[in-house]
Structure 1
């Protein structure tokens, strides 16, 4: 719950962000640092860090203690952008079609609880319009499951309406199963071969069942202050198991939006939001900022970590920020941070 001080300080900060600068120069870095400090002082995070990258280089900013630029951390649902990229690459290779049904690749998987895999397409999974319930409504991100267990947990819940946007981690668990069926390899192997290795993302991995983080890393804390640095990534699986670094995420989104990972047609499909009524593309979503700039990216929440990557549509400007707790839940602060970075003051 935001404090009264937070509710008062954010509007004031936004006024300062968009007021003309007396010096006539851009003050993006200072405004970004100011908001990042608010994530700690008002947002409840023990520590926060941000890496901002453009043609002029990278700029690192941190607030609080126990966090560094080179830390490995859990990126949660940012995993979905990686998985969606793999699926779209397979579509470009004609190894699957986004119009394929789940039934075609995984016969009999979705036949219970009001869910019908014969009518559920891969496109619907990618855009969260399948109607599949979210298995984490039951597990709350605290129970390690196999993909099949996650699906069975989901179909025991009341389904949503097919065609209506409703974010569900189950969609991407099923997509992970489809990738394995189509390629003969786990989605993690395909992501390493197709994305991680070509881009040189040396700090990025799919840990599977490995509970520890690679070095270096700091500590991760739950909302009640419990240290949850050691975690079984199978609580999220294909929907959120990724471990990475700030620099790697910036490099990934710059390459993706810059056209290095997908053919133009498939990248346009990824950024198309019509199916989700403007809310979501395929593993990525847009946010329109107060200054009129639209940024693309994803966020990720998993016990002990909250991460957000955002970039311009051409990938030339990208940033990632993170906090070392999953308790961060103030969209106003996040929006203010993105505005501070992407909406510079000018004289």
Structure 2
């Protein structure tokens, strides 16, 4: 993870931070909110928004035009946290084991170019240590594919080094197929039954092949300015299909890290980064901030949308921010936002 032009940016920041009384009760905007306009001015985004939740309440801020608090948007790889949660719930129910081979659940599927599902475990998929090639490197996230097509694309390439952390969307496409095989229902149906409905995430869905976003929503733009609001989610599938809202993501990560969705042992496994040498747990990754706080969450990038959620390990404080384009042009802005949110008041 993936000079402040004060005289030019200050008038813009002051105008954009004129929040309504409903958005915040603080007399002065927090440092996080003051950085938000930079995602537009320096980050290349048409608009940006954030929602922070914690013991002090809920705070919303936005910058730019065409974005709103209640908007539905595509969450990309944040989908992986949902899929990993379902897999770990199934492990807690003893319907599968993380030490199971891929071959056990998907016999004969992962074979070719040196790849062998008999040598890969579900744990290696969850932690991105399988070495399987990322199919989206070939499709560039623009070509709709079925799960089997995605796997076949990956299997035309040799493994990238089994046992080493190598982020690959193919891992989570396979996990989606495992959930299908174990439960007899799609990963989307299982996530709806196990996570979305119990938590009341009314703005969250797995759209399948539906190209439109639910209302309300704004417009989404590729890096070159092309409107890509209409998108076939099969470009990502179980690795990045999710549609959601700021409030729903805050609620989900609060519940997950707060122990509402997994028993303690399984949550500890989810947060264990040893297999990925500190880079990734299972559907979550840590980021240590300059003040010493480590936050947990995931980012999501899909054509026209970038989102990041980060939370304290107990889930008591969580921040989700998004932009309505593919990426943030200035990569230094994201860690600055997280530090401003979670390090405030610390030495």
Same fold (TM over 0.5): yes
What is the CA deviation profile of residues 25-64 of structure 1, one whole-angstrom value per residue up to 9, with x for unaligned ones?
x999421112111111000000000000002211000000
What is the CA deviation profile of residues 308-338 of structure 1, one whole-angstrom value per residue up to 9, with x for unaligned ones?
0000000000010000000324331100000
In 2, are the aligned partners of 1:102 and 1:117 still within 8 Å (CA)? yes
In 2, are the aligned partners of 1:72 and 1:244 still within 8 Å (CA)? yes
Structure 1 residue 158 displacement after superposition: 3.0
User: How far apart are the structure 2 equivalents of 1:71 and 1:131?
Assistant: 36
| Partner of residue 23, structure 2 | none
| Partner of residue 19, structure 1 | none
Which of 77-86 and 152-161 deviates more?
Answer: 152-161
Long gaps (5+) in structure 2: 7-25
User: How far apart are the structure 2 equivalents of 1:112 and 1:346?
Assistant: 52
| Partner of residue 335, structure 1 | 335
In 1, are the aligned partners of 2:246 and 2:320 still within 8 Å (CA)? yes
SS at match of 1:87: helix
SS at match of 1:118: helix
User: How far apart are the structure 1 equivalents of 2:202 and 2:160?
Assistant: 39
User: How far apart are the structure 2 equivalents of 1:202 and 1:208?
Assistant: 17
Structure 1 residue 346 displacement after superposition: 6.1
Structure 1 residue 291 displacement after superposition: 0.4
Structure 1 residue 163 displacement after superposition: 0.2
Are 2:57 and 1:57 aligned? yes
Structure 1 residue 138 displacement after superposition: 0.2
| Partner of residue 102, structure 1 | 102
User: How far apart are the structure 1 equivalents of 2:236 and 2:311?
Assistant: 25
| Partner of residue 165, structure 1 | 165
Long gaps (5+) in structure 1: 10-25
In 2, are the aligned partners of 1:27 and 1:344 still within 8 Å (CA)? no
Are 2:333 and 1:324 aligned? no
In 1, are the aligned partners of 2:80 and 2:239 still within 8 Å (CA)? yes
What is the CA deviation profile of residues 288-310 of structure 1, one whole-angstrom value per residue up to 9, with x for unaligned ones?
00000000000000000000000
| Partner of residue 180, structure 2 | 180
Moved over 4 A (4+): 26-29
SS at match of 1:149: helix
Equivalent residue runs for 1:193-232 within 5 Å: 193-232=193-232
User: How far apart are the structure 2 equivalents of 1:48 and 1:97?
Assistant: 41
In 2, are the aligned partners of 1:28 and 1:341 still within 8 Å (CA)? no
| Partner of residue 286, structure 1 | 286
The alignment yields a C-alpha RMSD, in angstroms, of 1.5
- Shift of the 287–250 alpha-carbon distance from structure 1 to 2, 3 Å rule, reads same
SS at match of 1:314: coil
What is the CA deviation profile of residues 270-304 of structure 1, one whole-angstrom value per residue up to 9, with x for unaligned ones?
00000000000000000000000000000000000
User: How far apart are the structure 2 equivalents of 1:27 and 1:36?
Assistant: 17
Higher relative contact order (CA 8 A, sep 6+): 1
| Partner of residue 18, structure 1 | none
How many pairs were matched up?
326
User: How far apart are the structure 2 equivalents of 1:124 and 1:264?
Assistant: 21
What is the CA deviation profile of residues 75-130 of structure 1, one whole-angstrom value per residue up to 9, with x for unaligned ones?
00000000000000000000000000000000001111111100100000000000
User: How far apart are the structure 1 equivalents of 2:111 and 2:303?
Assistant: 31
In 2, are the aligned partners of 1:54 and 1:318 still within 8 Å (CA)? yes
| Partner of residue 46, structure 1 | 46
User: How far apart are the structure 1 equivalents of 2:330 and 2:156?
Assistant: 31
Equivalent residue runs for 1:96-175 within 5 Å: 96-175=96-175
Equivalent residue runs for 1:53-92 within 5 Å: 53-92=53-92
In 1, are the aligned partners of 2:115 and 2:158 still within 8 Å (CA)? no
Structure 1 residue 217 displacement after superposition: 0.1
SS at match of 1:331: coil
Q: TM-score, normalised by structure 1?
A: 0.92
SS at match of 2:144: coil
User: How far apart are the structure 2 equivalents of 1:328 and 1:88?
Assistant: 32
| Partner of residue 15, structure 2 | none
| Partner of residue 260, structure 1 | 260
